Structure 1
Amino acid sequence: MPNIFRENEHQVIQIVQTLLHNTPDKTQITIQVLNEKIDLAILLDPKYKDNLDREYVIEELIRRYSVWIGQDNILINESGHIPWLTNERKKEWKYWHRYKQWQDKKLPWVALKALDDSTDRILGLLEDPERTDPWDRRGLVVGHVQSGKTGNFTGLICKAADAGYKIIIVLAGMHNNLRSQTQMRLDEGFLGYETHPDPDKIRIIGVGNIDSGVLRPNYVTNRTDKGDFSQNLAKVAGISPEQRPWLFVVKKNKTVLQRLHKWIHDHVATTTDYESGRKIVTNFPLLVIDDEADHASVDTGEQGFDEGVPDENYQPKAINSLIRQILHLFSRKAYIGYTATPFANIYIHEQAETKHEGKDLFPESFIINLAAPSNYIGPSRVFGVNEGENKRKDQLPIIHEVDDHNTDEGKAGWMPTNHKSGHKPYHESEFGIPLSLVQAIDSFILACTVRQLRKQGDEHSSMLIHVTRFNAVQTEVFEKVDEYVKKISQRIIRGIDNQDVLSRLKYLWEDDFIPTNIRMNEEVPDLCSESLPTWEAVEQLLPEIMEQINVRMINGTAKDALDYADSVGGLKVIAIGGDKLARGLTLEGLCVSYFLRASKMYDTLMQMGRWFGYRAGYLDLCRLYTTTDLVKWFQHIADASLELREEFNLMIDSGGTPRDYGLKVQSHSVLLVTSPVKMRNGKKLLLSFSNSLNETVSFYHDKEILEKNFNSLKYLVNKLPKPSAIPSRKGNTSENSNLNIERHYYWENISYTYVINFLEQYTTHKESYKVNNVLLKNFIEKMVKKGELTSWNIVLKSGGLLDRPVNISESITVYRAERAINGRHNDRYAIRKLLSSSDECIPLSNQEWEEALRLTIENAKKNPDKDKKTPTVPNGISTRIVRGKGIENISNGRPEEGLLIIYLPEDPNNLYPNSDIPFVGFGLSFPFSHLDEKVEYIVNNTEWEMNYDSSI
């Protein structure tokens, strides 16, 4: 039935939240306390009691008060900065207070406090807008995909306006729908009225319902499809020295930015710079918010440097150039990029500058990592956490791997991997689409139905179908999906010839929805919802739901975003699209995703992951249908993303700068993180392996290479002195190890030349782009010249396959280690992980082990996306930090000491040809180093196009 009592319950929830706001210890909020506060709310208005679903209200309040948030972490460069933001300065703020009051209706108190704190930190790292001498601050805010970055910068804009910033420019993506969506969000959260080209059609919305009198910022752009900054708007817009700030929401489009630059230059810049003769703006402080800052804003050219001095006549790419030119017009300015994937920004040279554009957009002042609330569903929540040895834990049971979309290794079928724009998708099923897509659509129908029964029917529900980037192919998919939905809608609504449809839906309900709900209530009860309704209740409501579902192709117009805001009740939409859906555009209430797009670029994949975000009350209904390869890559980047955030936190503790973080990102062993550009010949990447673990996970099964690599191991072992046992230290004992230490062999204080010789003789697989024997050898040799990595500890570890012994020498026998395959490949044996989680701890003393564990635990507290259990073994990042830096006032670091760990991996269930010759896998663990030594890695254009490039 419709949710006719929903507003009644929302009013009670809001009142109870207000009554509980000042409760110092939220853990003391029990069901009894909630019932008492509900009774008080009813006393305020007896109408609240009418048909009140008290159980629903209590469940919603418990959910809100169960949320917790880690802390934001910041890398700061204080050069030129004067602290200014005090509580006294904030007393009279009005824009922020009405935004806070408006958000209080929707956010848990802890999330609202976190928003207040983080926007205070960001604003405080900018300059005081009342400071009259020239200043320039540039920062980067790193959030999570679909985690609420727009809400954060809306709060920041409100505070900036209160503080005195007069011109606020928001760079909102490259498409009309994203610009329009951002404008609408700012209409609600900052302006307080619905922007429209016709003043008579403006209506109060959002924060305007709290205070629409004195607080009325000026707007130039509006929410319509043609509402971007244009010639007509430029003619009528005029800046005057008044109290109210001006808001511009513009696309990152060459023509739009040229108009905006010209208008500022002609109408706002009233001062001439004495030294350069340039016209500049001195009377208005500028704030630029760059949403999706890694997309289009970054200069993809390569500026030359002569002995560290940049070529001032270099011409950057158009969008980057125009953003910088706009900033260069102002003597007092702040630029803040927002993104979940900051890697392209990190590649910006920190000294890049030109005469015409001024400095490049490198975030030299600060990088802040926003903490996500515990109810945020991010990559590690969806795809689980790596436990080593090919094991993962806590992967949500919502992933369905599909393979019926193509045949013949992706060269034919309904949607082959490398299809072209003229492809005609054909499938032999009766529906004309793969059965996996049929099931995904059916899952969405059931999800919408259950959400209605859970009183979420007036909230939006969406399904994403993202299978191609070509508009013509999207049209073909749209027609078939729309035909399927209309056909089953008619049968269900009319109740005629509907038995096949209902039987299929009931089977999916019993085979998938019920067991998934049970499992999620057992494994993640804090993220899961109540038990499911009965099938009878679902079946009865299906006709009503089918009347509301519509299929739409997203083509980049503002209308795509407007429908969410303008719909009465919850919109239920199946969105079919490509690049327009892949970045920035929020799909409200995304329940089901059918996703086939292939990319190995970290930032592209993460931005395509629209299913990350918040799924309060319906996480158990969400489904992700995707390929095995994409599951593998998302698991890969989930681990790498978590590791980079931990690295970031440790850099803060060691006094790092934004540049230090850039070096770490560039050198990551997993992530060739972003396309350097569509280059003509090649692109040089400078990589540092310090403070990293590099392990082989892809192996040739060619007999000649197998023998070569095995001989390299035998040669190494036979040249080494007599081995010793692994030291009986904390973490190395049998109870903390997967095997008895007597089966392993250990060498200490070995010259680097042994490791160099091993790498020279070994051949890494071509798919191991950074775990490359030549690169690693060159890096070690460079570090040796600086006095580091001169001495090595070497571990040869046995595995658990006791029926598969391998004789390395007359006195040394090891057993192969079981490592399951990671996808089936004709050219290689691939695994997810070679080393065990505790392997890097082997060289640590007991004190070092304790210190590394302490760092690991501290880091875990900062990451809500991780398991809440307290770690019991140090992670690799903390281990490498301690090895390189030592312990303050206790022990010195050992940056001269590297660690080589060797296994013989095998999947006993999938033996490859020549399996009588063992695979030899190694891990090189490099300690933390203060040195900035790098090696050059050249990637050609074809390699990028095939493996990493994207049109996005």
Structure 2
Amino acid sequence: MPQPEKSLLPVINMAQLMLEAERETVGITPAAIATKVKLAASILNVAPFEEADAAAAIGVLIQRFSHWIGKDTTLQDDEGHLPWLVAAKKKDWRYWPRYQRFLELKMSVEVVGALDKSTDHILGLLEDPKRSGPWDRRGLVVGHVQSGKTGNYSGLVCKAADAGYKIIIVLAGLHNNLRSQTQIRLEETFLGYETSENRDPGKPLGVGAIDSDPAIHPHCATTRADRGDFNSAVAKHFAISPEEKPWLFVVKKNKTVLTQLLKWIRGHVADTTDLKTGRRIVTKLPLLIIDDEADNASVDTGEQVIDLDGKPDDDHEPKAINGLIRSILHAFDRKSYVGYTATPFANIFIHRRNATTDEGPDLFPQSFIVNLAAPSNYVGPARVFGLLGPEGRVGGLPLMRDVSDYVNGDEPSGWMPPKHNKDHPPAYLGQDILPPSLKEAIHSFALACAARTLRGQGKEHASMLIHVTRFTKVQKEVFRQVEEYVMGMVQRLTRRIDHEALENDLKALWETDFIPTCAEVASLIEEPGENLAVPDWPAILAALPDVVADIKIKTINGTAKDALDYSEQEEHGLKVIAIGGDKLARGLTLEGLSTSYFVRTTKMYDTLMQMGRWFGYRPGYVDLCRLYTTEDLVEWFGHIADASEELRTEFDAMAESGATPKEYGLKVQSHPVLLVTSPLKMRSAKSLYLSFSGELLETIAFFKDDTRLNQNLAAANKLIGSMGKPAESSPIIRNRAGVVQEFSGFLWNAVPGDSVADFFEAFVSHPKAHKVVSKLLAEFVRSMMTKSNELTSWTVAVIAGGRGAPYTFEGGWTIDGALQRSANSSFDDRYSIGRLLSPRDEAIDLDEAAWSAALAATKKGWKPDPAKQKNGVVQKEPDLPNGPAIRRARGMGADGVPAAPERGLLLLYALDPAQAGKDVFKTRTDPIIGFGVSFPASESGVKVEYKVDHLIWKQWELDYGASE
């Protein structure tokens, strides 16, 4: 949350302490907060203490006491693990208590308490550092992009040091700026002092202001400086012994750095030699490695052969970074490894049995995967882009602005065409100028800064992201153009020469965009205590000259200086436009990010997520944020929001059932979202191997031409005509826990799997239907039938009851009305809809016992998600079973419910073209056929091979193989 004026902090913190002391007896209300603020100001003799000061302090405290965090969920494998973390183990702790007090000065006791509980849980999943004998624990913590993972692992570092871990290595990204940023955070949260070039403790900061006792000063082998990483010169001067305080190393994932660190460990820390291999081993000092952005560079992208007996090839040579991390772990006989990431897919693809003599086991999180809950004020993909529903994408925020003028139509030219080389000169319509959309984005940033100033956030950091190319040479050209444009704005606004056109543009943007958008966002997202007042234009205009004059332009090229600018401008707040590429896309936090201009093209699930720097916390200014990007990227981020939500729901369901990380790994690997991660990380050169077991797939992209639509209608007619008389027809009645549900349409039971596979083969899926590839579905059904005797007997239903025209299928079965699904007007090349299925449809084949079992499983695994609450109202417990529970109940059974892995569910939908939207279908009258298919959960592990076009693979290699 925004930090108040420093003069108000003593008042706020004293009032918070008084409120917490009376929480149980009096309660915390806005009135109680106002009373304690005035009392604290009086006790501290703060003068003058005006109404504006009181309002600001009250607002901060209302925010602190209204935010909360949900419960983490965990998959774990306790083989070889001994539970150990009990209260007695924590009585002499020093590092965590001071970090806890440091956090309580900035956030509520509830949020800090949730972090305490979360980090206790993660530490407990590691091994007791005082346990003798060799042990090895490897886990993964999955958070949201920009959601506070650093704060979580800072807490884990503090507790690990308290518990007795002696060497703590934090792997902090690939570049100096991120390593330095992480170093600075850990100085504030763990070390308690600023590191100096000679590695001696500098001035106290952060937790050091709470407890600066030199007796607990941790040692640190790295510094915040650009050249502060571990190196050979540093290694010469360090020695370590078990009696010393913990040692912290904040290092890049760099071959030279990690090689020097490994060499130092073997030469100066190891105390034993392995008689079998000759390896030098550390037996007296327990190791903890924290791997930040664990899916980046840490994963071995080399192909290791696993024989038929499951034995790995010991001659395999892993990629450099992966091999060095494993070798460092392998040099200790007592070690724990915890990866942190928001995009765990590459980590899940690591083979469970990969191991070599020199490097030891691979980094698969075999011990645990923890899914962190997001705080209530987190703005993530689901909140930004919404989730897919029958009426389209719902619940998103109106912050996206379409960008298309960076290219010249369909020509491979323009200011920043998708494919360009390192010498590309950015030119708009042949001129050395910015495209209008980027000028507007810069205007938007200036207006956001002005509005934040008028809301009392003028001393907070504010950032704009421009991410358009990976080439540093092209970034420099963009920097020059942006700098020239901003300098021109400064001249016109401050000197008021030739200023009329610019002021008119800014005024029009404020009145036509900001005023209505702020009102709409305020109705969708209401954070208690926030000031979302919308200033009038004269006030904005008066604030603009100073705001624009303060804007700095920077290219992010990986140096530590980039990360230090925020700390150097702490008193006044840094207003910066950051221009960068890959170095900007990973891990680096852009403080106060409010405007993004983003046109880089990639379809990798994890790459897009990591490039989403605009996710995070936007207290008091989320309504001022803007994302200028392309139509295609908005669509892909929508896919990401849906898939991420689906996988988290599946994770919670599997955690409730006691599944292990290995089982979840198999689930993620088969998830049918195209291009979930780099093919190199997927260990595959020519194909994807997919399983659809436990999945729900539905067609949401359709052709517009009659030829292929008629082909799909014919496929549906052929299937319906072959099935004979329906087992049930309208009204189809289902009793659901005393509530009667009615379905309109027809339903057939025991339909042969071959008939369903024939339908999939005859159906032509749209190339933009990234999850639904009908030919693959046909192959999967046939594979399951022959290899595991599953999916042999289907339920098929035609869902009707819409307001469209009636239609008679082959066999004489007439639906009373085709369904309405409105087209997304953003896509001209296809008929694109929201969701095809109504959520209740997927359970149409379940009897009451199975439905009740699925609902019970849903409730058991459900937890309120604070990141999805609206206006402070927490979600109610679900009254319908969710998809994963339905598919598990069908395929694997439940108490009193037999398993039926042979029974798939195919739902056919006839959509009325006349109700698709104006001018989508001008002459068509026959319905458009869509389908949903619900595959029962299965343990068979059957997959189908998906051959990918060679050109796509080449594009993947370009996306991942090139560097800046």
Whether the TM-score (by the shorter chain) exceeds 0.5 is: yes
Whether the 8 Å contact between 1:410 and 1:418 is mirrored in structure 2 is no
What does 1:34-183 align with in structure 2 at a 5 Å threshold? Answer: 34-47=33-46, 50-51=49-50, 53-183=53-183
Q: Normalising by the residue count of structure 2, what TM-score does the alignment of the two structures yield?
A: 0.93
Q: Which residue of 2 is the match for residue 574 of structure 1? A: 577
Q: Which amino acid aligns with 1:108?
A: S
After superposition, the C-alpha distances for 1:188-243 in whole angstroms (9 at most, x for unaligned) are: 11111111214679322211112222221111111111111112111112222323
Secondary structure of residue in 2 paired with 1:203: strand
Q: How many residues align?
A: 944
Equivalent residue, structure 1, for 2:299? 298
SS of the residue aligned with 1:458? coil
AA partner of residue 674 (structure 1): T
Distance 1:107 1:430, change over 3 A: farther
- The Cα shift of 1:508 comes to 1.8
Q: 1:99: how far off?
A: 1.0
Match of 1:32 in 2: 31
| Alignment-derived partner of residue 878 in structure 1 | 885
Q: Does 1:928 align with 2:951?
A: no
Aligned mates of 1:797, 1:866 — CA distance in 2: 30
Pairwise mapping of residues 630-641 of structure 1 onto structure 2 (< 5 A)? 630-641=633-644
Cα displacement (A) at 1:328: 0.6
Partner of 1:901 in structure 2?
907
RMSD (Å) for aligned C-alpha atoms:
2.7
- Deviation at residue 27 of structure 1 after TM alignment: 10
Letter in 1 for 2:948: V
Specify the SS of the correspondent of 1:677: coil
In 2 relative to 1, CA 941–866 (structure 1 residues): closer, same or farther, beyond 3 Å?
Answer: farther
Identify which of 716, 726, 734 aligns with 1:729.
734
The 1:806–1:440 alpha-carbon spacing in structure 2 relative to 1, beyond 3 Å, is farther
Change (3 A) 1:685 1:446: same
Contact 2:85 2:128 in 1 (8 A): yes
Question: Which one is further off, 125-134 or 390-399?
Answer: 390-399
SS in 2 for 1:755: helix
Change (3 A) 1:4 1:107: closer
The aligned residue for residue 937 of structure 1 is: 946
**What letter is aligned with 1:147?**
S
Q: Alpha-carbon deviation of 1:860?
A: 5.2
Q: Which amino acid in structure 1 is aligned with residue 941 of structure 2?
A: D
1:733-744 matches, cutoff 5 A: 741-742=743-744, 744=745
Judge conservation of contact 1:663–1:688 (CA < 8 Å) in 2: no
1:68, 1:874 → 2: CA distance? 26
Q: Establish whether residue 672 from structure 1 lines up as the match of residue 675 from structure 2.
A: yes
**Is 1:42–1:49's contact at 8 Å kept on the other side of the alignment?**
no
- Deviation digits for residues 795-831 of structure 1, max 9, x if unmatched? 1223736247464443435754433445766865444
Paired with 1:680 and 1:78, the residues of 2 have a C-alpha distance of 28
Cα distance in 2 for residues equivalent to 1:753 and 1:897? 13
1:506 corresponds in structure 2 to: 507
| Letter matched to residue 145 of structure 1 | V
What SS does the corresponding residue of 2:290 show, helix, strand or coil? strand
How far has the Cα of 1:610 moved from its partner?
Answer: 0.3
Shift of the alpha carbon at 1:856? 4.1
**Post-superposition shift, 1:874?**
3.2
Where does residue 760 of structure 2 map in the other structure? 759
Per mean C-alpha deviation after superposition, the further-off stretch among 399-408 and 169-178 is 399-408
Give the residue type in structure 2 aligned to 1:42. A
1:427 is the counterpart of 2:432:
no
SS in 1 for 2:193: coil
Relative to structure 1, the CA distance from residue 544 to residue 408 in structure 2 (aligned partners, 3 Å threshold; closer, same or farther) is: closer
| Structure 1 residues 733 and 765, CA gap change in structure 2 (3 angstroms) | farther
The residue matched to 1:241 in structure 2 has which SS?
Answer: coil
Within the candidate set 663, 681, 698, 2:666 is matched to 663
Where structure 1 has 5 or more consecutive residues not aligned to the other structure, the ranges are none
Report the equivalent of 2:847: 845
Do 1:794 and 1:899's aligned partners in 2 also have CA atoms closer than 8 Å?
yes
Deviations 1:251-285 (A, max 9, x none): 11111111111111111112012333321010111
Answer whether contact 1:701 1:913 (CA < 8 A) is retained.
no
- Does structure 2 conserve the Cα–Cα contact (< 8 Å) formed by 1:468 and 1:578? yes
Question: Which piece of structure 1 moves more, 389-398 or 845-854?
Answer: 845-854
TM-score by structure 1 length?
Answer: 0.94
AA aligned to 1:895 is: P
Three-state SS of the structure 1 residue aligned to 2:686 is strand
- Do the aligned residues in 1 keep the contact of 2:653 with 2:858 (CA within 8 Å)? no
2:380 aligned partner: 378
Q: Distance in 2 between matches of 1:172 and 1:821?
A: 45
Structure 1 range deviating more: 612-621 or 907-916: 907-916
For residues 517-540 of structure 1, the C-alpha deviation after alignment (integer angstroms, 9 at most, x for no partner) is 222222222276431233333222
Worse-matched range after superposition: 196-205 or 359-368: 196-205
> Amino acid of the residue matched to residue 16 of structure 1?
A
**C-alpha spacing 1:731/1:517, structure 2 compared with 1 (3 Å):** farther
Contact 1:682 1:940 in 2 (8 A): no
Whether the aligned pair in 2 keeps the contact of 1:731 and 1:841 (CA below 8 Å) is no
Counterparts of 1:503 and 1:917, CA distance in 2? 51
The residue type equivalent to 2:755 in the other structure is: Y
Matched, 1:793 2:795: yes
* Shift in Å, 1:397: 1.9
Q: CA deviation at 1:110?
A: 1.8
Q: Are 1:946 and 2:955 matched, yes or no?
A: yes
Aligned counterpart in structure 1 of residue 689 of structure 2, from 682, 686, 689: 686
Distance, in Å, in 1 between the alignment partners of 2:922 and 2:696 is 29
Provide the rounded CA distance (Å) in 2 between the counterparts of 1:500 and 1:753.
68
Deviation at 1:413, TM superposition (A): 2.3
2-structure distance, mates of 1:350, 1:679: 13
- 1:87 corresponds to which letter in structure 2? A
Q: What is the one-letter code of the residue matched to 1:229? A: F
Distance in 2 (alpha carbons) for counterparts of 1:893 and 1:489 = 70
Gaps (5+ residues) in structure 2?
Answer: none
Provide the C-alpha distance between the structure 1 equivalents of 2:672 and 2:929, rounded to a whole number of angstroms: 19
How far is the alpha carbon of 1:653 from its aligned partner? 1.2
The one-letter amino acid of 1:578's match is G
Q: What is the distance in 2 between the residues matched to 1:736 and 1:629?
A: 38
Deviations 1:838-880 (A, max 9, x none): 2202112234334434544555534223354434443322322
- Distance change >3 Å, CA 946–CA 766, structure 1 → 2: farther
Indicate conservation of the 8 Å contact 1:701/1:914, yes or no: no
Q: Which amino acid aligns with 1:711?
A: A
Distance 1:621-1:750 versus aligned 2 partners, 3 A rule: same
Query: Equivalent residue of 2:204, what SS?
Result: coil
Q: Which moved more, 1:446-455 or 1:65-74?
A: 446-455
Question: Residue 449 of structure 2 contacts residue 547 of structure 2 at CA under 8 Å; is this kept in 1?
Answer: yes
Q: Quote the offset at 1:715 in angstroms.
A: 1.5
Secondary structure of residue in 2 paired with 1:133: coil
Bigger drift between 854-863 and 927-936 goes to: 854-863
Tell me if the contact between 1:632 and 1:822 (Cα under 8 Å) persists in the aligned partners.
no
CA–CA separation in structure 2 for the residues paired with 1:788 and 1:90: 52
Q: Give the counterpart of 1:592 among 578, 583, 595.
A: 595
Sort the Cα spacing of 1:208 and 1:732 in 2 relative to 1 into closer, same or farther, 3 A. closer
Structure 2 counterpart of 1:654, from 633, 650, 657: 657
C-alpha contact (below 8 Å) 2:255/2:320 kept by paired residues? yes
Q: Contact conserved, 2:346 with 2:681, CA < 8 A, in 1?
A: no
SS at match of 1:891: coil
- State the alpha-carbon separation in 1 of the partners of residues 921 and 56 from structure 2: 56
Measure, in 2, the Cα distance between the counterparts of 1:779 and 1:554.
Answer: 46
Query: What residue identity is the alignment partner of 1:725?
Result: S
Q: Give 2:701's match in structure 1, choosing from 698, 703, 713.
A: 698
Q: Which moved more, 1:500-509 or 1:714-723?
A: 500-509
1:433-471 Cα offsets, whole Å, 9 max, x none, are 222222211111121122222222222110111111121
Say if 1:9 and 1:68 are closer, same or farther in 2 by CA, change over 3 A. Answer: same
1:795 alignment partner, SS class: strand
1:408 aligned counterpart, secondary structure: coil
**Mapped contact 1:123–1:156 kept (Cα < 8 A):** yes
The separation in 1 between residues aligned to 2:825 and 2:561, in whole angstroms, is: 41
Check whether the contact 1:177–1:561 (CA below 8 A) recurs between aligned residues.
Answer: yes
623, 631, 634: which one pairs with 1:628?
631
